[in-house]
């Protein structure tokens, strides 16, 4: 009751959903609340470095006609957010939780999920999430304690292939050969991976030799996540998925006379995907380096910004100088502004009515908070 009251007060005061604070209170009072509130209920866990929120949302839509679906739809994917979401999901008969990479092992243990969906695994904020291989090892050990739990993976990701190499019921969905920024060497044995064939291969330990259950070919990130979500929906008996289309975590903001499509990009992999998806419109890059963004912006050097050559580019954010120097090295022209509002004003003055923004996490939250009218 106290956790529910805190969440309600936060919404009344227009301070957001209050998931973190209410979850902290609940876990302080009942440390095993997640285990207690999920016992005997069907649970799906979705995790990965990128795409957790949009994939969980697509999956909830697919399963919503057959089940009363609950879960952490606000995107609060730590244990506190999951605990808070359970307060409002008492009547749900199916729970879908997106789970932070580091929290996945503990949430697997607490919820004993019916099925686990793993989207991808790459480097994120190293000051918080640790090195990719450490995370992969923790996932491997967590799943080893639940050998009969079905797992669905993107089999084109060497780290995921390594995580489930000894697991029992695994559905492997292939999306063609997709070089991985962090997998020059084998996540299992450390030998150099061979990327010359149709799929990655380790000639020392055999990683990558396992045949996929379904090969769907090359797709964008959002299309891959949609296909993975569809595989989970099929497991639950949903046969007609034709009306569910891929959708990404993109918001639209009307600002300074122009319409801005906002896309969250928070690490080298998601930045690379975001750059590949840009339409022929002015581009705004917004780079912050607050705690949840990662304090170190050296990851910018792992991103190929050459797709921006010849484009109309405006750079804003607290670390705009870091981003500006990085794109300059790749031969990209740009202009610097102090804020997203100033970027919109400049683009409008130059005769455009639409733009696309690639934004780091805190910049995305700031902008979408404005979209929702909270401030």
Tally of CA atoms within 13 A in the half-sphere of 260 that contains its CB: 30
Does 244 have pLDDT greater than 80?
A: yes
CATH 3.90.190.20 region(s) of the chain?
251-371
pLDDT per residue over 294-338, tens digit each? 888 988 999 999 999 999 999 999 999 999 999 999 999 999 999
pLDDT per residue over 252-302, tens digit each? 999 999 999 999 998 899 999 999 999 899 999 999 998 888 888 988 999
- Mean pLDDT on 239-262: 91
CATH 3.40.1190.10 region(s) of the chain?
2-235
pLDDT per residue over 204-237, tens digit each? 999 999 999 999 999 999 999 999 999 999 999 9
Torsion sign (Cα): 100, 370, 95, 28:
positive
Q: Check residue 371 and report its DSSP letter.
A: H
Phi, psi of 142 (to 5 degrees): -65, -45
pLDDT per residue over 155-201, tens digit each? 999 999 999 999 999 999 999 988 888 899 999 999 999 999 888 99
Q: What angle do CA 178, 184, 187 make, to 5 degrees?
A: 95
CATH for 251-371 is 3.90.190.20
Burial tier of 36 (Cβ tally within 10 Å: 0-12, 13-18, 19+): exposed
Does 17 have pLDDT greater than 80?
A: no
The answer to whether 217 touches 175, Cβ cutoff 8 Å, is: yes
Does 79 have pLDDT greater than 80?
A: yes
Q: What's the pLDDT score for residue 373? A: 45
Burial tier of 138 (Cβ tally within 10 Å: 0-12, 13-18, 19+): middle
Q: CB under 8 Å to 256, separation ≥6 — which residues?
A: 341, 344, 345, 347, 348
Does 11 have pLDDT greater than 60?
A: no
Does 249 have pLDDT greater than 90?
A: no
One DSSP character per residue, 307-358 reads GGTTS-EEEESTTHHHHHHHHHHTT---EE-SSHHHHHHHHHHTT-SEEEEE
Does 342 have pLDDT greater than 80?
A: yes
Torsion sign (Cα): 55, 249, 33, 3:
negative
- Mean pLDDT on 85-91: 85
Q: How confident is the model at residue 21 (pLDDT cuts 50, 70, 90)?
A: confident
Q: Which CATH class is domain 2-235?
A: alpha beta
Burial 315-348 (b: 16+ CB within 10 A, else e): bbbbbbebbbebbeeeebebeebeebeebbbbbb
Does 374 have pLDDT greater than 50?
A: no
Q: How confident is the model at residue 355 (pLDDT cuts 50, 70, 90)?
A: very high
Identify which has the larger pLDDT, 114 or 26.
Answer: 114
Q: Whole-model pTM above 0.85?
A: yes
Q: What's the pLDDT score for residue 24? A: 87
For 216: left if phi > 0, alpha if psi spans -120 to 50, otherwise beta; the answer is alpha
Tally of CA atoms within 13 A in the half-sphere of 291 that contains its CB: 0
Q: Other CB atoms closer than 10 Å to residue 165's CB: what's the count?
A: 15
Distance CA 202, CA 42 (A): 37
> What value does the mean pLDDT of the chain take?
91
Torsion sign (Cα): 291, 297, 299, 303:
positive
Identify which has the larger pLDDT, 34 or 248.
Answer: 34
The answer to whether 51 touches 107, Cβ cutoff 8 Å, is: no
Least confident of 10-14, 22-26, 116-120, 304-308: 10-14
pLDDT per residue over 122-138, tens digit each? 988 655 556 899 999 99
Distance CA 206, CA 185 (A): 13
Phi, psi of 258 (to 5 degrees): -125, 160
Torsion sign (Cα): 189, 195, 196, 201:
positive
């Amino acid at each position: 009751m106290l956790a529910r009251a805190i969440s309600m007060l936060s919404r009344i005061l227009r301070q957001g959903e209050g998931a973190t604070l209410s979850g902290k209170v609940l876990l302080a009072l009942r440390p095993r609340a997640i285990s207690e509130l999920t016992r005997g209920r069907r649970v799906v866990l979705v995790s990965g470095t990128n795409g957790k929120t949009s994939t969980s949302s697509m999956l909830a839509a697919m399963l919503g006609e057959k089940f009363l679906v609950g879960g952490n739809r606000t995107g609060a994917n730590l244990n506190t957010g999951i605990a808070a979401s359970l307060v409002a999901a008492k009547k749900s008969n199916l729970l879908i939780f997106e789970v932070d990479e580091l929290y996945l092992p503990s949430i697997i243990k607490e919820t004993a999920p019916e099925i686990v969906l793993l989207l991808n695994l790459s480097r994120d904020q190293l000051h918080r999430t640790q090195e990719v291989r450490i995370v992969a090892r923790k996932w491997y050990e967590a799943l080893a304690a639940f050998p009969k739990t079905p797992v669905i993976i993107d089999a084109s990701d060497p780290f995921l292939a390594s995580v489930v190499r000894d697991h029992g019921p695994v559905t492997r969905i292939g999306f063609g050969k997709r070089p991985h920024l962090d997998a020059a060497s084998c996540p299992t044995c450390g030998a150099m991976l061979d990327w010359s064939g149709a799929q990655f291969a380790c000639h020392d330990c055999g990683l990558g030799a396992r045949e996929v259950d379904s090969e769907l070919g090359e797709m964008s990130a959002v299309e891959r996540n949609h296909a993975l979500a569809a595989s989970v929906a099929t497991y639950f008996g949903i046969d007609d998925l034709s009306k569910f289309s891929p959708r990404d975590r993109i918001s639209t903001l009307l600002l300074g006379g122009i319409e801005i499509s906002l896309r969250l990009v928070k690490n080298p992999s998601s930045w690379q995907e975001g750059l590949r998806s840009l339409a022929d419109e002015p581009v705004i890059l917004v780079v912050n380096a607050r705690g949840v963004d990662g304090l170190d912006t050296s990851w910018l050097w792992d991103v190929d910004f050459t797709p921006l050559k010849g484009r109309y580019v405006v750079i804003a954010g607290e670390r705009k100088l870091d981003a500006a120097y990085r794109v300059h090295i790749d031969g990209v022209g740009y202009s610097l502004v102090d804020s997203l509002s100033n970027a919109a004003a400049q683009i409008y003055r130059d005769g455009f009515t639409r733009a696309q923004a690639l934004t780091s996490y805190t910049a995305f939250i700031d902008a979408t908070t404005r979209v929702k009218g909270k401030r």
